Structure 1
């Protein structure tokens, strides 16, 4: 097992790969904690934005990870994670010996285990560390992180984990366990968003005051975190993507594959997946996942609020 680098928070060099709605907030939380942070994103505007707020910008993942003790990867899926690690400008070319790679992408647990093995064979640590909490908690450093990996990986990653999260669950000694926990979360999240959008659009079809519906339901037993978080997007008519429809096309698709392998029925997740697929097919794939309400409105003729 490779030795852990000195990751004292005063000296740790950190790279954040992926400065989207989650990664940008995570990078800012790391910077706010006094850490030396370099950021990279395929969109140069995101890098420029991070530099304007005091971070260091990078032209490639390898550039960001040069001599890094910790690399935090906040990309969409396993394929992007593999490219970040092993592509032509991959971070494993530049990380210092014994550094830790923190993978926050949602992926199949088997793929997380395979990536971990390849990373550790090169003399680095790998922490399987999916995240939950949304963009607001990423910005405030209050995420929930569902992590698994070796004790040295956790020790090496600790300065970053402490800066990014309110809760870090240490779920096991090998990669894949954190990914499996995240998939359970995503099953619930995807179904709950679909249910919230179905409910608020039915309320619109009934001619109810939607602001009052939100007030009543969030104080009642039918409330969920997703109803409370996503319905305001519908009420504002604002579908700027904080978490896109395509994310749940991917994640509920992974759940279908996992469940099929286990010969386990997931009918609610399957029904929700069909709604996300329909929304993506209707051209809403890159819009906020609350756009399921717009799909219900199109199907039913219900009238939803529009942005001013």
Structure 2
């Protein structure tokens, strides 16, 4: 439960895209939310949801108790904080920067140190879910942060998360656990694609096969969720994009770098990464990640613009 004084708490949400806008809308039900995006149509939608919008990221971040960072990769994180138009100089001492993206532990260590020199704590809080769950406050969030920083970020995290797992007391711990999580997710999606492509090649009914598999020991969340979306590749040409294929190109790349740094072999994750890379090379990078089945099923191997 958030503090009764939460309505006096200000959070800046920078980037009002597929995840940023529903998170900002959710937060605006209890908090003062500042928003920024380069697209005017996203700003208009944010205003309709009760978000106060600004003409620049710096203006939005100025004086905020917390800044929510949802970036695609390490380069964007560096740019939004410390680039030519970076927000770091505008952050108040005692504020928290809440990083919700998966960027890897290497990116977080240096960022946390540079922010600490400005009196700002980094709350490492990568999340899982999707736009619908973000708008409902039903996200899974894993957190690495000092107890004091976590407490200052609570008004934001408690509104966004139905499951909040504190996995360590330093920035980087959240990224480490999310890296392990993404290893399993990527492998499970790739395995689901192989299984369903094989079932089809053996002449089995695809839907009945999926029902049987999900009901038994071979079932997994990813098989049930992505498997249904993979079937639409056969029947409807593809699933709505809930998680882009190139996200797993990025995330399994992070897994590989972390494993090499730790001196740990991860051959199954490496094989899954190759499937996603092949999908990207086929022009599927902006498709739903379930489209990885197109790499394996002969009749589905056309790129989207050739289908």
TM-score, structure 2 as length reference:
0.89
2:228 to 225, 232, 236: 232
Does the alignment pair 1:67 with 2:54? no
Alignment match, 2:299: 301
Q: CA deviation at 1:259?
A: 1.2
1:94 aligned to 80, 90, 94, which one?
90
Distance 1:92 1:271, change over 3 A: same
The CA distance in 2 between the partners of 1:48 and 1:233, in whole Å, is: 31
Query: What is the rounded CA distance, in whole Å, between the counterparts of 1:45 and 1:198 in structure 2?
Result: 40
Answer whether contact 1:20 1:46 (CA < 8 A) is retained.
Answer: yes
Is 2:242 the partner of 1:242? yes
Quickly say closer, same or farther: Cα 1:139–1:216, change in 2 above 3 A.
farther
SS, match of residue 164 in structure 2: strand
Query: In structure 2, what is the equivalent of residue 269 of structure 1?
Result: 269
Match of 1:56 in 2: 52
* Structure 2 residue 149 is matched with structure 1 residue 156: no
Give the conservation status (yes or no) of the 8 Å contact 1:129–1:146: yes
Between the two proteins, the alignment pairs up a number of residues equal to 297
2:180 to 178, 184, 191: 184
Deviations along 1:83-128, one digit per CA (max 9) or x if unpaired, are 1111233222333331110011112212211100101111111101
Q: Does 1:10 align with 2:7?
A: yes
- Whether the 8 Å contact between 1:204 and 1:303 is mirrored in structure 2 is no
Matching of residue 210 in structure 1 with residue 199 in structure 2: no
Report the Cα offset of residue 271 of structure 1: 0.2
Report the CA distance shift for 1:266/1:296 in structure 2 as closer, same or farther (over 3 A): same
Matched, 1:135 2:131: yes
C-alpha distance in structure 1 between counterparts of 2:145 and 2:102, whole Å = 16
- How far, CA to CA, are the matches of 1:139 and 1:221 in structure 2? 33
1:19 deviates by 2.5
Give the superposition deviation at 1:82.
1.4
Among 217, 221, 224, the residue aligned to 1:221: 217
Q: Is 1:198 paired with 2:194?
A: yes
RMSD (Å), alpha carbons: 2.2
Higher relative contact order (CA 8 A, sep 6+): 1
CA apart distance, 1:228: 1.8
Q: SS of 2:141's equivalent? A: strand
Deviation of 1:302 after TM superposition, in Å, equals 6.0
Checking the alignment, whether the CA contact within 8 Å between 2:61 and 2:67 is kept in structure 1 is yes
Deviation at residue 56 of structure 1 after TM alignment? 2.3
Where do 1:21-32 residues align within 5 Å?
21-32=18-29
**1:234 Cα deviation from its structure 2 partner:** 2.5
Asked whether the 8 Å contact 1:78–1:105 carries over to 2, the reply is no
Match among 117, 121, 124 for residue 120 of structure 2:
124
Name the residue aligned to 1:77: 73
Corresponding residue number in structure 2 for 1:286: 286
CA distance in 1, matches of 2:161, 2:301: 39
1:127–1:153 Cα contact (<8 Å) kept: yes
Structure 2 Cα separation of the partners of residues 81 and 14 of structure 1: 18
Q: What secondary structure is seen at the aligned counterpart in 2 of 1:198?
A: helix
Structure 1 residues 99-108 or 86-95, which shifts more?
Answer: 86-95
Relative distance call for 1:118 and 1:232 in structure 2 (3 A) is same
- Unpaired segments ≥5 residues, structure 1: 1-5
Equivalent residues of 2:294, 2:301 under 8 A apart: no
Report how far residue 178 of structure 1 moved.
Answer: 0.9
Task: Name the SS for the 1:255 alignment partner.
Answer: helix
